[in-house]
Structure 1
Amino acid sequence: MKEPVKKPWIWIIMGLLVLFNAPWYFPEGTIEPLIFGLPYWVVVSTVLSLLLCAYLYWLCRNQWHIIEDEEEAENEREGD
């Protein structure tokens, strides 16, 4: 199984989420339209932050397979 850190798509998606999380690409000084009383850039940043959290959770849950128990059992068998 290939190490997840070496999969480029993981880093590309994470980089894009981090890059667009900061509202640098919006016109300076804009607050309109308001969404639930908040400037739209706040809503966009919040949604992207939640997406980043969900993506990192999914990566940790599904891409990183921690097999420490199996490795420890193997080491014990080799040591005996």
Structure 2
Amino acid sequence: MKEKKEPIRYWKIWVVLFSLFILSVPWYLPAGTYEPLIFGIPYWAYIIMGVSLLISITLTYVLNHFWEMTEEEEEEEKWKI
């Protein structure tokens, strides 16, 4: 039987996700900064939205390329017959 590899076993995925989560909280910016405002929204809000988008893209990539779904689909087909 072929050994099933799950995304949890890839340490690089965890490093990338941990880094993105650290960047998603703007603690590294100076305290009390809200200038410049871009369309009335502080610049750090755009940083948070950008990192959130990167997290979503990363998780989508991991699910599409590392998650083994074939066995579950085969099991469902067996029970339909």
* Structure 1 stretches of 4+ moved >4 Å: none
Query: TM-score normalized by structure 1?
Result: 0.78
Query: TM-score normalized by structure 2?
Result: 0.77
C-alpha deviation, 1:62, in angstroms? 1.3
**Could you say which residue in structure 2 is the equivalent of 1:26?**
29
What 5-or-longer segments of structure 1 have no aligned partner? none
What is the CA RMSD across the aligned residues, in angstroms?
A: 2.0
**Could you say which residue in structure 1 is the equivalent of 2:13?**
10
Q: What fraction of aligned residue pairs are identical, expressed as a percent? A: 39
Correspondence 1:69 to 2:57: no
Q: Is the 8 A contact 2:6 2:68 kept in 1?
A: no
Secondary structure of the residue that 2:35 maps to in structure 1?
coil
- CA deviations on 1:19-74 (whole Å, 9 max, x unpaired) are 1101111100001112222111000001101111111111111111212234x38x
Provide the aligned length of Structure 1 versus Structure 2. 74
Q: Is the 8 A contact 2:5 2:68 kept in 1?
A: no
Q: Distance in 2 between matches of 1:47 and 1:22?
A: 12
What 5-or-longer segments of structure 2 have no aligned partner? none
